[in-house]
Structure 1
Amino acid sequence: MAASATTTGIVLRSYTGTRYRFDPGALCLELLTTGGPGEFRRYEVLHEPADLAVWAERSRLTPTPDVEISEAELAEARLLRDALFRVVRARTADERAAPGDLDVLNAAAARPPLAPAIGPDGARAWAAPATGGQLLATVARDAVELLTGPFAHRVRMCSAERCHLMYVDTSRPGRRRWCSMETCGNRHKARALRARREEG
């Protein structure tokens, strides 16, 4: 599903082919745009280690970490993502997450994350060499912070019927309903307008 990213979100392509920007509000939720378990397997984009490196480049991690990713770490990334998908989805439905999924998430979070550093030019950098395991630990720790923090109750799924993207609502009023106003929000407004005209 992912196409590219900016500082304010990842550019995705909708089922109609429209490109739009999606900002889920957290690094861990950006990983969920790469595919998922069950029916969401058709959106899989993590086919080889380089794909995970590309995702890291498009994510909100700044600067982009230079990571060496093995086949085993790629498999771990898909396992973590699928477990995280189910944990977050349970949160949006106000349900308990499966213990096995929490075990996967907690095991990843317990590993050493990417280590920040100051580069020769004085700018922020990541200590090298960095591994895929460190990248996944960083994502998992972000998930723990989100799901146990002050915005845990604001983790939501897009209200559109055919959209399953999840995000954290960081807006002040806490009334965000759509993954993006460019797509699902605009389609809802267009349908509502047609319905009002038909009633009139």
Structure 2
Amino acid sequence: MTADDEWLWHGGSVCLDFVNTLRDRWKEPRETLREPGDVLRWLYTAGMAGEPALPHAEPEGVLVLARRLREAIDRAIMAAASGELPHAGDLSVINEAAMAALRPAPQVAIVDGRLAPGESRDRAEGAAAGLGLVAHDAVDLLVSDEVRRVRLCGADRCALRFVDRSPAHNRRWCAMARCGNRTKVRAHQRRQREQPPPSWKSVTA
């Protein structure tokens, strides 16, 4: 996997990071889950499943299940973000996947002198259970007020999904370092090209 294909974690929720494994949705979608081993590695990196065994330890159907769940989550969340009801078929896919895994045991921690939810130490066993935890996260987002804050990155080739938690709710980019700065640089270069060259008189004056 090249540096440009590395998984990104700008979504603000596990389920949106999972949706974002299909890159560049605006124009030519680019797949990063190409084989069952990719699903296992993504789930492990996201903290949803244990360390993957050999790639052939999971059946080929895991890849089909993962992509099917990913697109159902995307359609359901984008519909809800627009104030519409998701398609019943997509909700069925999410609910069915969620039944494959129990929620991790809750943890409590002391953070800055206060009690706060701690990071779960439990990981699901196997890809189907890990995908079930991703589906759990999608359910949580769908029934929360935050679903109306899901946005698309404003860069013309990106379209990563993210939860806008900015104070003014006006975040435009999946990440400033990834798309914001690039877009600003391209806009500046375009303005420079469109400026008319200085006239001979202004140069010699």
In structure 1, which of residues 47, 56, 66 is the aligned counterpart of residue 51 of structure 2? 66
The separation in 2 between residues aligned to 1:101 and 1:95, in whole angstroms, is 13
- Aligned pairs for 1:23-172 (under 5 A) are 23-35=10-22, 42-59=29-46, 61=47, 65-66=50-51, 69-113=58-102, 115-116=104-105, 125-126=121-122, 130-172=125-167
Size of the alignment, in residue pairs? 179
The separation in 1 between residues aligned to 2:104 and 2:33, in whole angstroms, is 24
Cα distance, 1:98–1:44 mapped onto 2, change above 3 Å: same
Q: Which amino acid aligns with 1:96?
A: L
Q: Which amino acid aligns with 1:31?
A: F
SS at the partner of 1:97?
Answer: coil
- TM-score of the aligned structures, taking structure 1 as reference length: 0.71
> Is the CA contact (8 Å cut-off) linking 2:7 and 2:21 kept in structure 1?
no
> Is the CA contact (8 Å cut-off) linking 2:50 and 2:126 kept in structure 1?
no
- TM-score of the aligned structures, taking structure 2 as reference length: 0.70
When the two chains are superposed, the root-mean-square deviation of aligned CA atoms in Å is 3.5
1:102-134: CA deviation from partner (whole Å, max 9, x where unpaired): 11112212332364499xxxx964367x12221
Query: Offset at 1:28?
Result: 0.5
Query: Offset at 1:175?
Result: 1.7
- Structure 2: state its 5+ residue gaps: 108-118, 197-205
1:136-167: CA deviation from partner (whole Å, max 9, x where unpaired): 11000101111211311111111222221101
The separation in 2 between residues aligned to 1:195 and 1:69, in whole angstroms, is 49
1:62-96: CA deviation from partner (whole Å, max 9, x where unpaired): 7x623563322332111101111222332344433
Alignment identity in percent? Answer: 34
The separation in 2 between residues aligned to 1:80 and 1:106, in whole angstroms, is 10
